[in-house]
Structure 1
Amino acid sequence: MMMKSFFLFILVIINAIHADPTPIVLWHGMGDTCCWSFSLGGFKQFLEDEIPGVYVLSLEIGNNTIEDMENGYFMNPNKQVELACDIIANDSKLQGGFNAIGFSQGCQFLRALVQRCGHMLPRVKNLISLGGQHQGVYGLPNCAAVQHLTCDYVRKLLNYAAYNSIVQHGLVQATYWHDPLDESLYRKKSDFLAEINNERAINKTYIENLNKLEHFVMVKFEDDSVVQPRDTEWFAFYEPGQAKKILDLRDSPIYTKDRLGLKRMDKAGKLVFLSSPGNHLQFTDDWFRDNIIKPYLL
């Protein structure tokens, strides 16, 4: 009997050694694409080089990379999340579970995917948020790394008509615009963010699905000049009624009232707050290896 148990133990160890690494799903940010080599295509290759044998799915929302980039501006996030849920559900290589990495606005989209579809998808183990805007933004200074007429158009619409129903439906960045000077209007009109943050009503499924994560890792970029305020990358935001003083996540209603179960996750050690020197999404390969790959992806 002891000999049989010993051989079973050895078999488990051998299987663990030869097991394929956990797959990874990526979601890019505004003005970026899933697959070009100078975009997330290059990062996908980096992960494949660092983790031999890993399967990496970089989400493409649309029929090609051009549509994917355009949809990052003009396809409502609610529709994008729905499409992403279908893509993942139908990918046979993800059925054993996966880790998820979001870039900028892709972070809150992936979190919405976990909350809305987590009970219908393979298990999401770790959610890595790189520069995400989890409490929204109040300002769009330089439109990430993109400098063209589309950015000027986005800025003008957000500054003057962010909560117009047409703008909310047709401009992605308006759906996570968060005006701290008028919280009631934000909660009423925000087409995406207020809903996934349980600020209109409490959706218990969102809480249950988010709490199934092993870790929710949030990375803030210390010199971020793109995201305003940069503290939203740690789920913090302006104190209501003004736009200067920041209210830490643990002091905000979304935490104290446990609207998303973040307090429970925090007490369980599932919330991880990391920072990286540099501007928006600027990190070194070594920093990513030491802080993300080794503790959460291997």
Structure 2
Amino acid sequence: GSRMSLLWFLLTAPVLLTASSPVYNPNNGTVPLVIWHGMGDSCCNPISMGAIKKMVEEEIPNIYVHSLMIGKNVVQDTENGFFLDVNEQVSMVCSRLAQDPKLKAGYNAMGFSQGAQFLRAVAQRCDTPPMKILISVGGQHQGVYGLPRCPGESSPVCDFIRKMLNSGAYSDIVQKHLVQAQYWHDPLNDNLYRNYSLFLADINQERGINETYKKNLQRLEKFVMVKFLQDSVVDPVESEWFGFLKTGQAKETETLQESATNQI
């Protein structure tokens, strides 16, 4: 319904999918699109990413769409969205994109849910090939502090994840083996988060400024963040626009402009 209408608008808006500067492009002037799915999903699910890929291809003739599969098949792809170290996933994607000749002149990227912050990490860490536009659809750029609802068949997995997060999100074993722990942001334990978050605290420059990350992110022509007005998966929903809970409590939120994280 409304989500598909929004996606249709984003994908067909010429500003997002035609190159604003002349680049070598084998695809009739359309910039290729890379998609990274969200938690509990896969690259090729016919009712989610598969449908979006098809919709893009129908709306934009001759476009090359690369929907990322993390693993050798759809089952692995879905499982890796829960259990494969995010830094390893980002590294795998960086090398895969660099090896794809159709992307060498640059590409646009669209990430859904956790796939959005993972693609931001790709933009910050890997400048070849260049990402031009990043569209974040319900991404969690300041992380999450709660897993209120998990999509579809993933509910038992989410119950397990919730237990692990509650038992010690920043312990070494949970950080290394649980994707959601790597963007778990506990406002009541800010020092633990800054020091032991293996992924989010790094890409959000919480432990010091990485000038390469900053420079690479500033190279994006556009960074579009879509926040859903009713989102039952992301908590707090402000994270979709880079806002979060104020440090030291778990009720009041603040925007990116009000927070200390605006030097990313």
- Residues 235 and 145 (structure 1), Cα distance of their counterparts in 2 relative to 1, 3 Å cut: farther
- Alpha-carbon RMSD: 1.6
Classify 1:72/1:147 alpha carbon distance in 2 versus 1 (closer, same or farther; 3 Å).
Answer: closer
Deviations 1:13-53 (A, max 9, x none): 9x99x933110000001100001212311110010011111
| Off by >6 Å, runs of 4+ in structure 1 | none
**1:68 maps to 2:77:** yes
The residue type equivalent to 1:136 in the other structure is G
Cα deviation for residue 79 of structure 1 reads 0.1
SS at match of 1:150: helix
Among candidates 195, 208, 219, match of residue 212 of structure 1: 219
1:43-77 Cα distance to aligned partner (Å, 9 max, x none): 10010011111000001110111111110000000
**SS of match in other structure, 1:221:** coil
Matches within 5 A, 1:1-298: 19-118=28-127, 121-255=128-262, 258=263, 260=264
Q: CA deviation at 1:235?
A: 0.2
For the pair shown, which has the larger CA radius of gyration, 1 or 2? 1
Q: Can you give the 5+ residue segments of structure 2 that lack an aligned partner in the other structure?
A: 1-21
Equivalent-residue separation in structure 2 for 1:178 and 1:229 (angstroms)? 10
Report if the CA contact (8 A) 1:20-1:53 is conserved.
no
User: Equivalent residue of 2:187, what SS?
Assistant: coil
**TM-score of the superposition, structure 2-length normalised?**
0.88
- Any conservation in 1 of the 2:111–2:135 contact (CA below 8 Å)? yes
Bigger CA drift: 32-41 or 223-232?
32-41
C-alpha displacement at 1:96, in angstroms?
1.3
- 8 A contact 2:40–2:154 mirrored in 1: no
Shift of 1:147: 4.3
- Between 157-166 and 98-107, the greater mean CA deviation after superposition: 157-166
Give, in whole Å, the separation in 2 of the partners of 1:139 and 1:236.
Answer: 15
Amino acid at match of 1:88: L
Asked if the contact 2:183/2:199 (under 8 Å) is kept, the reply is yes
TM-score w.r.t. structure 1 length?
0.78
Partner letter of residue 144 of structure 1? P
The residue type equivalent to 2:146 in the other structure is G
Which runs of 5 or more structure 1 residues have no equivalent in the other structure?
1-12, 261-298
- Count residues in correspondence: 241
